Structure 1
Amino acid sequence: MLLNTIHLIVFKVQNFQSLCNIKLSMDIFLHQLNPVKADFPPVSEALEQPNGLLAFAGTLNTPTLLTAYQQGIFPWFNEGEPILWWSPDPRMIIRPESLHISRSMKKELRRHNYQITIDQNFSGVMHQCRVLREHAEGTWITNQMEAAYNQLHREGYAHSVEITDDGELVGGIYGLAMDRMFFGESMFSKKTNASKLAIIYLCRFLAEQGIKILDCQVPNPHLESLGAIRIPRHLFMKYLKRYCRSTESVANWN
């Protein structure tokens, strides 16, 4: 295994605040990915602090990303940093058929006037996720990430749910679909409950299509209110072996 040293100076784990809101200034020994072949190390080698940091470098091309997700790994890094690869423990998931919908949200579902679509504006959903985070606390959706996931969408692996209000995109969620799993990446909301509507609609669609697991990556109170649960990484890896044997989704996204 090739190990190199990456010196992380004042590296703030912004998206993992609930797990490890820390700053680092130390040498960390990480696996450096081969730029040609995605030679990820076992996820058991991921660091405890920052939680789940596993490797760096490599590329964001389609074969690398598909290999990563099938092995329980995803990229997360800030602009100007090397590509960082993560596999945190615990992992947060939603079982689509077990989604919890509160009484107030059930009322909202009956009375809203939004238009809900699938794969009608993937690039718009991803870009809004990026823009809103840039304004709030900085974003991990870099130019590289945006280009890579739009390519995944063009190749049929990445999908989105859009919430529009009189033609305006006001909410949405996007992620990757492989076999009987969906790997959620990010969501946004510009109007009250728009992101909740997106994830509820997504879960209903996934359940109808036989998708067993929605990966939410890391703990999030917003998702916990919808029935998301924390599971140990080793259990998540078992789910991957059972439900993610192929890169082709069982769902009909057309």
Structure 2
Amino acid sequence: MSARPFQVTSDLLLRAYRLGLFPMAEARDSRTVHWLDPEERGVLPLHGFHIPRSLMKTLRGQHFTVTADADFAATIAACAANRPNRPETWINEEIERLFTELFQLGFAHSVETWENGQLVGGLYGVALGGVFFGESMFSTATDASKVALVHLVARLRLGGFKLLDTQFITTHLARFGAVEIPRGEYQHLLAEAVEEQARFPVSPDPAALWEEIETMRKEAP
């Protein structure tokens, strides 16, 4: 008799995040999920977040419409899709299933960027206590994912979040002030922030949201 494959549940996934672990697959068609706990962890400070001048101009021009939790399924599917500049992805069907369950349970959230009614950018992640664990983002239009990231940070600040975990650092994230910290330091920040009470504001007051974005621009070094 063959052993039944071990299945990750949404409850186990939340427990793993509390411990600092996160899942990844080797490839889109992979059937297994691996747990990662890197020695250096990427975090994006919620205070001191840098908005490039050109991006601020785009934000003020309101070229994009930005929503949250309006189409989580399409957002994670777009993040999982292969693209010419990214022929492979770490989001397999199991990860897509798990995060869709977390969204239905109220733990996962997406931020979507729209252009002329079409979804052109966005991101998704997990909210647990005062921590938001950023998972992935995508863009099919210039600055679309960057606009989504700014709106995410503004929402997290309004909602009382303390920590934005980016897992790793990319050149893209470094432009906004993301840094790497040792595992021990991350574990300390995580243990404190995950016990905080925060609320992910899906539909914040537009004036308050924009005021927060302007404050972020003024705070940045």
How many residue pairs end up in the alignment? 198
Query: Which sections of structure 1, spanning at least 5 residues, go unmatched?
Result: 1-34, 36-56
Matched AA of 2:130: R
Greater strand content:
1
Verify the 8 A CA contact 1:133 1:139 in the aligned structure 2: no
Report SS of the residue matched to 2:47. Answer: helix
Superposed CA offset, 1:184-220 (max 9, x none): 0000000000010000010011011111111000121
Match of 1:84 in 2: 34
1:228 equivalent to 2:178? Answer: yes
Structure 1 position 231, deviation (Å): 0.6
- How far, CA to CA, are the matches of 1:174 and 1:136 in structure 2? 18
Identify the structure with bigger relative contact order (alpha carbons < 8 Å, sequence gap 6+).
2
1:136 is paired with a residue whose SS is coil
Q: Is the 8 A contact 2:31 2:92 kept in 1?
A: no
Structure 1 residue 105: deviation in Å? 1.2
| Contact 1:97 1:203 (C-alpha < 8 Å) held by counterparts | no
Quickly say closer, same or farther: Cα 1:252–1:230, change in 2 above 3 A.
same
Given residue 103 of structure 1, which amino acid in structure 2 is its aligned partner? R
TM-score, length-normalised on structure 2? 0.84
Q: Match for residue 39 of structure 1?
A: none
2:127 equivalent in structure 1: 177
State the TM-score, normalized to the length of structure 1: 0.73
Check if 1:250 corresponds to 2:189: no
% identical aligned pairs? 35
Distance 1:135 1:192, change over 3 A: closer
Aligned to 1:128: 78
Which protein has the bigger helix share?
2
- The separation in 2 between residues aligned to 1:135 and 1:127, in whole angstroms, is 17
Q: How does 1:110-125 map to 2 (within 5 A)?
A: 110-125=60-75
Provide Cα deviations, 1:129-174, integer angstroms capped at 9, x if missing partner.
Answer: 1114587221111111111111110000000000011110000010
Q: How does 1:202-213 map to 2 (within 5 A)?
A: 202-213=152-163
State the AA in 1 paired with 2:48. Answer: S
CA RMSD of aligned residues (A): 1.9
CA contact (8 A) 1:187 1:195 kept: yes
The equivalent of 1:67 in structure 2 is: 15
Whole-Å separation in 2 of the counterparts to 1:155 and 1:163 = 23
Q: Relative to structure 1, is the Cα distance of residues 133 and 72 closer, same or farther in structure 2, using a 3 angstrom cutoff? A: farther
Counterparts of 2:24 and 2:176 in 1: how far apart (Å)? 24
| Deviation per residue, 1:65-100 (Å, 9 max, x gap) | 000100000111123353210011210101223210
Unaligned runs of 5+ residues in structure 2 are 204-221
